[in-house]
Structure 1
């Protein structure tokens, strides 16, 4: 759990993913399209990935990926992030965390 918390604070935007997950790819693309360069942690390629996957489950991430953190705070999964994008609050969160500039 500590490792996930530490990694979630490494950059203004952090996404925990799995390389084979199409929704993870979509969320990463969305962030890049918005001008953000998030830290990406692919659980299936990390030696401690299974441990981090269990920690994300304990945090309430269901499904565990993609798990998006902005400004060190858990935003949610793909559904939550897409909803925030549609209502305009995702951009605001990224601006406030200094993950994008305009």
Structure 2
């Protein structure tokens, strides 16, 4: 499995970031988590992510297979509709 198949931009104090990260762990995905509040350029990256997603905050921002999947609401929608696991398989994040 490729750790870069799923990248989550997060902040350590964000409960939604924790929730989405936990979902991927429970699915067996070993995601790369980038804690923006621990990065010197984190504020700059969060602003860019917020612009990209058209939101007031840039976290969580989930990328699957190099493409923006979205924030918690989009990821949960994908999961509940049964579309998240196939997306993860196609990205090389899951083998089963």
| TM-score (ref. length: structure 2) | 0.92
Greater CA deviation, 50-59 or 70-79? 50-59
Q: Which residue does 1:22 correspond to in 2? A: 15
Q: Which residue does 2:47 correspond to in 1? A: 54
Q: Does 1:41 align with 2:34?
A: yes
Q: Does 1:74 align with 2:49?
A: no
After superposition, the Cα gap between the structure-2 partners of 1:20 and 1:61, relative to the gap in structure 1 and judged at 3 Å, is farther
Listed as ranges, the gaps of 5+ residues in structure 1 are 1-9
| TM-score (ref. length: structure 1) | 0.86
Contact 1:61 1:67 in 2 (8 A): no
Listed as ranges, the gaps of 5+ residues in structure 2 are none
After superposition, the Cα gap between the structure-2 partners of 1:72 and 1:20, relative to the gap in structure 1 and judged at 3 Å, is same
Q: Which secondary structure does the structure 1 equivalent of 2:58 belong to? A: coil
Q: 1:54 offset after TM fit, Å? A: 1.4
